[in-house]
A and B are shown apart, each in its own frame.
Chain A
Amino acid sequence: MFAFIVRRIAQAIFVMLIIGLIGFSIKTQIGDPVRDMVGERVTPQEREQIRQKLGLNDPFLTQYVRFVGKALHGDLGLSFFYKKPALDVIVSKAPATIEMVMGAGLLIVLISLPLGVYTALRPRASFSRFVMGFSTLGVSVPVFLTAIMLIYIFGVQLHWLPSYGRGETVDVFGNGWWMSGFFTADGLKHLILPSISLASIELPLFIRLIRSEMMEVLETEYIKYAWAKGLSRMRIWLLHAFKNTLLPVITVFGVQIGIMFAFTILTETVFQWQGIGYMFLEAVERSDTSLLIAYLVVVGSVFVVVNTVVDIIYGFINPTVRIAGTK
């Protein structure tokens, strides 16, 4: 088990270095750190001096190592637009995105689990057919369209829910960093449509996954044996079958959370949600390269970490992997 963890972490570090390399290469090609720091109005001589001071004339590898070193200390360059360290900008906007993902995650768990189990147990019921049909439709509607439709129906026509922004937020830690929308009714109302939109990407996937996993499990010998032992239906379905279904689903869930972060770019645009996705697009418009690269490095690292953690957790939960991992 230990060997397994070590291997996974080593792999993760390797991937992060590659991400860093890609990010760094792009940065050297298109960024202009001199401009980032002092603006446009400098003479060529001053420019050259600054370049020398910043070590921009050093060989590629040296600069890369320096980049990695700085990154590990939290320095990912300066945002041209915000005139602040890129990492600070990202960190300050992250809570908004994280809350949207949390809302979506909650919805996914609450909706896909019961629906997935039900459609597995009663595949021919009309409700099951409806759910499966709806999920095929769901896969065919792009997330931004879902978001727009939701705004149109619930915001513009019915006026039930707000159409943009985060609404009222509460300072969770008292230092102005994490402004949360979870603690006020207004904030929650603003969270509903974005969370639903984001969840809509994953719901069809999860319902189908849980359903097919559960159906496969229900056909196994050990489930048949559980029937032969005379156990109650509920116990067989909800313990024997469900626990086996859950295992592969958990790994997918972890990965999909990462994917949802990618799709926040789309949802935040529609809802004008001031998270890191929205920030990314603004950075593109403003050619704020440091911020873009910082985004790549941060989000990329988040993916790697999430994937690694999920793999390790799976190793702990699934008793058979523990032994296999030590081979």
Chain B
Amino acid sequence: MSHLLEVQDLKVTFALRFGDLTAIDGVSFFLDKGEKLGLVGESGAGKSVTGFAIIKLISKPGFISGGRILFNGNDISSWPDARMREIRGDRISMIFQDPMMTLNPVLTIGTQMVETIRAHRNISKAKAEKVALEKLKKVYIPSPEKRLSQYPHEFSGGMRQRIIIAISLLTDPAIIIADEPTTALDVTIQAEIMDLLQELCESERMALILITHDLAVVSQVTEKMAVMYAGKIIEYGPTDAIVKDPIHPYTQGLINALPGALKPGEKLHQIPGMMPTLTNIPPGCAFNPRCMIKEKICEIEVPGLLKTVQGRMVACHMKTVH
């Protein structure tokens, strides 16, 4: 049985003037219809690059240097750009981080919505507008008819993100990749947008890849999650299990750092040190300089993502059986 989306050992490299930099080094996960996956990590861990890599939208000088991406069983990692258009914006939609910058300022909302539908379906402008209105209603935008002729700057950030979500629904995609969809929004709006996204995924039976650094959101919305560190997935499994019982020392640090886990007056836990930049990744396990339980082998050999005794996937020498 093939999954809806399967990423196998994906590697992405950037060919820079002073050498090649590997942004993602062997990332693997899968997604089934309607499933919600959280891709978690700090800035620079490689989450966004992974998201872009799935629809082959990595900015030059980046390129896929290894691995495969299987969509409905087809290996799309070798597809040419022209063929990718069948998937991009059609079967897999993406939501960007900053709604203020995502929409083209000189084109109306209507134009930007209609063109999306007509890029993938052979229907008339009038029919396309009807579809657009339908989706605008789904995201609870009031008086949608008026909106089509308005420009992006006439809307607030939250409204714009709703419109962008509506655009992502236009082609009834199988997967939505949401790259930090609420980071740039006010706290009060964040919850609304996340609720909306969750509701829509469930009602439309769409899979969701939620890329974020916000553990709280991930634990509320997703069924499974992958924690990324320095370009690799270091823990992968059901969200509930990971949040209740994190296995990898880094994940433990993240969960423990949440204020909610503390009693009043207790000091906030922090993982000492910082995640290394792509140019400074230490040999062996990338986390080893900051790790409390490391041993000699951690400084030499890179741990693979393996099953623990309990059946959870972790990349840690100390936690997995050899």
Chain A residues close to B by CB (< 8 Å): 220-232, 235, 239-240, 243-244, 247, 318-320, 323
Contact = CB atoms under 8 A, between A and B. Distances in A.
B297 interface: no
Contact of B107 (A227, A243, A318, A320): A243
Contacts of A243: 104, 106-107
A228 B94 contact: yes
B230 interface: no
Contacts of A232: 85, 119
Interface in B80-113: 84-90, 93-94, 96, 98, 101-107
Given A221-B96, A228-B89, 19 more contacts: A221-B101, A221-B102, A222-B101, A222-B105, A225-B94, A228-B96, A229-B88, A229-B89, A229-B115, A230-B87, A230-B88, A230-B116, A231-B115, A232-B85, A232-B119, A235-B119, A243-B106, A318-B106, A319-B151
B88 A319 contact: no
Given A231-B115, A232-B119, A320-B153, A222 B88 contact: no
Interface of B: 55, 57, 59, 84-90, 93-94, 96, 98, 101-107, 115-116, 119-120, 151, 153-154, 167
B175 to A, nearest CB: 13
Contacts of B86: 230
Contacts of A229: 88-89, 93, 115-116, 119, 167
11 contacts: A222-B102, A223-B104, A224-B59, A228-B88, A229-B93, A229-B116, A230-B84, A230-B87, A230-B90, A320-B151, A323-B153
A235 B303 CA distance: 46
B96 A227 contact: no
Contacts of B96: 221, 224-225, 228
A319 B120 contact: no
Contacts of A235: 115, 119
Nearest to B98: A221
A142 B105 CA distance: 39
Contacts of B85: 230, 232
Contacts of B55: 228
Contact of A319 (B57, B98, B153): B153
B104 A244 contact: yes
Contacts of B116: 229-231
Contacts of B106: 243-244, 247, 318-319
A232 B87 CA distance: 13
A226 B104 contact: yes
B89 A230 contact: yes
Given A224-B57, A230-B120, A319 B105 contact: yes
A87 B57 CA distance: 62
The list of the 7 closest CB pairs from A to B, nearest first, reads: A230-B89, A229-B89, A230-B88, A221-B101, A228-B94, A222-B104, A319-B151
Contact of B101 (A220, A226, A227, A318): A220
A319 B87 CA distance: 33
Nearest to B90: A230
A232 B120 CA distance: 10
B103 A244 contact: no
A124 to B, nearest CB: 11
A231 B119 contact: yes
Nearest to A219: B59
A224 B164 CA distance: 14
A171 to B, nearest CB: 43
A222 B59 CA distance: 14
Nearest to B167: A229
Among A221, A239, A247, A318, max chain B CB count under 10 A is at A221
B184 to A, nearest CB: 11
Contacts of A318: 106
A145 B56 CA distance: 52
A227 B94 CA distance: 10
A241 B35 CA distance: 36
B88 A227 contact: yes
Given A221-B98, A225-B96, A319-B153, A240 B104 contact: yes
B103 A222 contact: yes
Contacts of B98: 221
Contacts of B88: 227-230
B125 to A, nearest CB: 14
A232 B82 CA distance: 9
Contact of A320 (B105, B115, B119): B105
A267 to B, nearest CB: 36
B272 to A, nearest CB: 35
A221 B160 CA distance: 14
A147 B86 CA distance: 53
A123 to B, nearest CB: 12
B89 to A, nearest CB: 3
Contacts of B107: 239-240, 243
B102 A225 contact: yes
Contact of B103 (A225, A227, A228, A230): A225
A193 to B, nearest CB: 38
A227 B119 CA distance: 11
Contacts of B154: 323
Contacts of A222: 101-105
A228 B179 CA distance: 12
A274 to B, nearest CB: 43
